[in-house]
Amino acid sequence: MKGFLLLSLIIGFTGCASFQRMVTRTGINVGIAPGVSHMIEAIKETKSGRLVEKGLADHLLIVTGMVEITEGNFRLLNEAAFLYCAYGIFMEEKEPEFAKELFDIGKDFGLRALKQNRKFRKGLAAGKKIPELVGHLDEDYVKPLLWTGLNIGLWIVHNMDDPAALMGMADAMALVERSIELDEKFYHGAGKMFLASYYALTPEYLGLGGGPENSRQMFEQSRAVENGNFLLVDVLEARFLATITENEDRYDELLNGVIEKEPDDIKGIRLINELAKMKAQYYLSHKSDYF
């Protein structure tokens, strides 16, 4: 309710042109972004996944409102793209249709951030494809590259029965691969974790880098970034690679290991590790759905 009331105030203010001018003129635009970023960093450190799951929707509304108040602040667009992706991952088993909506919105925020690069923006306007344009994006764009790619890719995973949706995978791959080129360890190796999942879903004979062995190697590379402390890697290996290869023992080993492990206290991944534990419990209790 608090989040809803705050958003109502934000929307009211946003509709006032004089307020928008005041935001830009007084520098409030500059001051809002760090404050919101600090809020999101605090969320990432929360130990209770259930607490965040219940409260994250309010935070999404607040951040969304702040993005519009600041007329597309680059930093806030990145935070919004991350939050929508994270919330979609929270909800994808319980409410898959809602998760797809979240990933789609997160993609839009990420693209808005990427379009702040003039060459990328003009290239899209001229009809060029994303894979042709990612080379224009440098280290300043690692965050939106990854979050946009993940949002697109996760949306596609939930629309695998739609051949038209699969056409977007080239965009997702180009964005994530470019983020890895610029910083392969960004967000604890999440880019490689995504590639590993994609490789598990892609038959080797297609010649797109997929197949079980390439997937296994990429999961190992992703796991090595935080020495096994980024637990979502194990969850996704179980969910995608172990199921594709019909390896029930590996599935059980990985998921039970996630539940039992007390990972090192690494800044920025407490929440994601709690999420990983919740997903591990879900996948174990629904094992018959995957084998």
* pLDDT tens for each residue of 240-266: 999 999 999 999 999 999 999 987 677
Tokens of 146: 């990854």
Q: Please compute the mean of the pLDDT values over residues 119-146 and round it to a whole number.
A: 98
Cβ contact 146:104 at 8 Å: no
Q: How many angstroms separate the CA atoms of 257 and 127, rounded?
A: 47
Q: Please compute the mean of the pLDDT values over residues 51-67 and round it to a whole number.
A: 76
**Cα dihedral angle (96, 97, 101, 102), rounded to 10 degrees?**
-20
Residue 213 sits in the same domain as residue 286: yes
Q: What is the pLDDT of residue 182?
A: 98
Q: What is the pLDDT of residue 125?
A: 98
Q: Which domain holds residue 220?
A: 184-290
* pLDDT tens for each residue of 19-50: 444 444 444 454 555 666 666 666 666 666 66
In a domain, 273, yes or no: yes
Q: What is the pLDDT of residue 47?
A: 66
Lowest mean pLDDT: which of 24-33, 88-97, 230-239, 266-275? 24-33
Is the pLDDT confidence value at 280 over 50? Answer: yes
DSSP state of 139: G
Q: How many angstroms separate the CA atoms of 165 and 169, rounded?
A: 8
Residue 49 sits in the same domain as residue 123: yes
Q: How many angstroms separate the CA atoms of 232 and 190, rounded?
A: 9
Quote the pTM value.
Answer: 0.84
Cβ contact 46:83 at 8 Å: no
Cβ contact 186:146 at 8 Å: yes
Q: How many angstroms separate the CA atoms of 188 and 263, rounded?
A: 13
Number of domain units in the chain = 2
In a domain, 33, yes or no: yes
Residue 203 sits in the same domain as residue 122: no
Residue 131 contacts by C-beta under 8 Å, 6 or more apart in sequence? 170, 171, 173, 174
* pLDDT tens for each residue of 182-203: 999 999 999 999 999 999 998 7
* pLDDT tens for each residue of 198-217: 999 987 766 667 899 999 99
Lowest mean pLDDT: which of 46-55, 150-159, 181-190? 46-55
Please report the DSSP string for 230-269 in residue order.
-THHHHHIIIIIIHHTT-HHHHHHHHHHHHH------TT-
Is the pLDDT confidence value at 96 over 70? Answer: yes
Last residue of a domain, one of 79, 105, 140: 140
